[in-house]
């Protein structure tokens, strides 16, 4: 079954040309691929100031994304306090390192983008 046609106002009909060096083009393509986007989609999102989420994170379930968000909020609060001069609680470094390991394990077990 064919995809429904977009309304005329939603169709992308304009193009914008940008000149890049070969190295810049490769870097841009690599960045797009790393988050599971086409180069055009990546450039569009970046240029319009839209959030560029990792494809791996998008493949997480809603509960997992919510929990990762909560962890991120807690880490931000900790960083803000430490930047304000509040000493880090004992074991902070080890805990943050372990969180990084757990997130890496979680992302490694997600199905491949496709």
- Residue 3 — very low, low, confident or very high, per pLDDT cuts 50/70/90? confident
Across the chain, which distance is largest between two alpha carbons, in Å?
60
The shares of helix, strand and coil residues in the chain, as percent rounded to the nearest 5, are 60, 0, 40
21 pLDDT more than 70: yes
55 or 74, greater pLDDT: 74
pLDDT at position 113 is 47
Q: Mark residue 49 as left, alpha or beta (left: phi above 0; alpha: psi -120 to 50; beta: remaining).
A: left
Long-range contacts of 97-105 (CB under 8 A, 24+ apart): 99/71, 99/75, 103/68, 103/71
φ, ψ for residue 18 (rounded to 5)? -135, 130
Residue with tokens 């509960």: 63
DSSP 54-74: -HHHHTS-HHHHHHHHHHHHH
Mean pLDDT (the chain) is: 84
Summarize pLDDT for 22-54 with one digit per residue, the tens: 999 999 999 888 887 889 989 999 999 888 876
């Amino acid at each position: 079954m064919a995809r429904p046609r977009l309304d005329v106002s939603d169709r992308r009909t304009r193009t914008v040309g940008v000149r890049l060096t070969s190295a810049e083009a490769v870097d841009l393509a690599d960045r797009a691929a790393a988050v599971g986007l086409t180069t055009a989609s990546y450039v569009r999102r970046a240029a319009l100031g839209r959030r560029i989420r990792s494809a791996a994170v998008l493949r997480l379930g809603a509960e997992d994304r919510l929990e990762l968000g909560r962890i991120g909020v807690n880490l931000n609060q900790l960083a803000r306090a430490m930047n304000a001069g509040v000493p880090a609680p004992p074991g902070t470094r080890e805990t943050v390192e372990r969180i990084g390991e757990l997130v890496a394990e979680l992302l490694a077990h997600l199905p491949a983008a496709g």
